[in-house]
Homo-oligomer: A and B are copies of this chain.
Amino acid sequence: MNEVEFRELRYFVAVAEELNFSRAADRLGIAQPPLSRAVRQLERRLDVRLFDRDTRTVTLTPAGLALLDEARHVLTTMAGLTRRIRRAAHPGTPLRVTAKAGMAAGMLRAITGHYTALPGAPAVDILVSGYREQAAMVRDGRADLALLTPPYEARGLELEALAEEPRMAALPTGHPLTRHPTLHPADLEGLPMPRGPGEDGPGPVVHDSAQLLEVVGLGQAVALVPRYLADAHPRPDIVYRPLRDADPYTISVAWAEGNRSQAVALFVRAALELYADVPD
């Protein structure tokens, strides 16, 4: 009984996502029979049935579902590792740091200024990234570091908290909840909330905070926003209300789990020196 190979995980994930061997094979650029065989081999190796298949339909078993989640994690870890090592080898490559527009971008500029003044610090490329894709960029190696704001999935990342901002509820003008001077998170339960691309759930998809405010102003959703955003964008069609007892809105610096690069460590230290007012 041999070891599971990376290729088999790639194949498995493709099939699990397509739930169709032929289409998955197409996507992988191989023929269908070798793919079927590879998946069977993986099943034999693990001694586990991963798919229930009859001649028409393919479905994941519970074990398959569990594997899908873990295999995806391994694949993105590997993709990120590859990118990081390739870059680490060529010295003088700039550090790539990402944050969304808004307060985080401002903090990023400040940290970068502090950092580049340090001896031995390489140049920094600032990547502006879309709504809530910062974590994914770090995981798969498109960026070395990110400033993150909740919600995010911490898996595969290491974090240091930098700063906290109180949260405000953003409501369309005239919304019934605007009668209350302050709100609790529970008041917003069940209301449509905007979500980033790739997240599922109800509510409209937005790519940046301008779009987010727009959908709130149009009455399509309510949102939780950090106070700086409320201060920076007063709008006649939006009413902001402070929230009591909400989770704090913590801005953290994040890097890939296991990334022990000198430049990354230096940047994190620079960030903590500037902003570390938050206990771990």
Shortest Cβ gap from A82 to chain B (Å): 6
A265 CA to B66 CA, complexed, in Å: 13
Contact residues, A1-20 vs B (CB, 8 A): 3-7, 10
Evaluate contact between B73 and A257: CB separation under 8 angstroms.
Answer: yes
A103 close to B (CB within 8 Å): no
Evaluate contact between B66 and A88: CB separation under 8 angstroms.
Answer: yes
By a CB distance below 8 angstroms, the chain B residues around A10 are 3
A178 CA to B218 CA, complexed, in Å: 69
A258 close to B (CB within 8 Å): yes
A77 close to B (CB within 8 Å): yes
Q: Could you give 6 example pairs across A and B, Cβ below 8 Å?
A: A46-B82, A61-B89, A62-B88, A70-B259, A73-B258, A74-B78
Q: In the complex where A48-B89, A73-B257 touch, is A66 in contact with B84 (Cβ < 8 A)?
A: yes
A81 CA to B4 CA, complexed, in Å: 10
A200 close to B (CB within 8 Å): no
A86 close to B (CB within 8 Å): yes
Contact residues, A59-89 vs B (CB, 8 A): 61-63, 66-67, 69-71, 73-74, 77-78, 81-82, 84-86, 88-89
A23 close to B (CB within 8 Å): no
A88 CA to B155 CA, complexed, in Å: 21
Q: Among the listed B3, B7, B89, B158, which residue makes an inter-chain contact with A49, where contact means beta carbons less than 8 Å apart?
A: B89
Count of this chain's copies in the oligomeric assembly: 2
Size class of the contact patch on chain A:
35 or more
A199 close to B (CB within 8 Å): no
Evaluate contact between B86 and A46: CB separation under 8 angstroms.
Answer: yes
Evaluate contact between A4 and B89: CB separation under 8 angstroms.
Answer: no
Evaluate contact between B88 and A81: CB separation under 8 angstroms.
Answer: no
Q: Among the listed B85, B155, B156, which residue makes an inter-chain contact with A67, where contact means beta carbons less than 8 Å apart?
A: B85
By a CB distance below 8 angstroms, the chain B residues around A180 are none
Q: CB-CB contacts of A227-254 with B at 8 A, as 1s and 0s?
A: 0000000000000000000000000000
Contact residues, A88-126 vs B (CB, 8 A): 88-89
Contact residues, A165-199 vs B (CB, 8 A): none
A37 close to B (CB within 8 Å): no
A89 CA to B50 CA, complexed, in Å: 9
A56 close to B (CB within 8 Å): no
A81 CA to B42 CA, complexed, in Å: 13
Evaluate contact between B66 and A261: CB separation under 8 angstroms.
Answer: yes
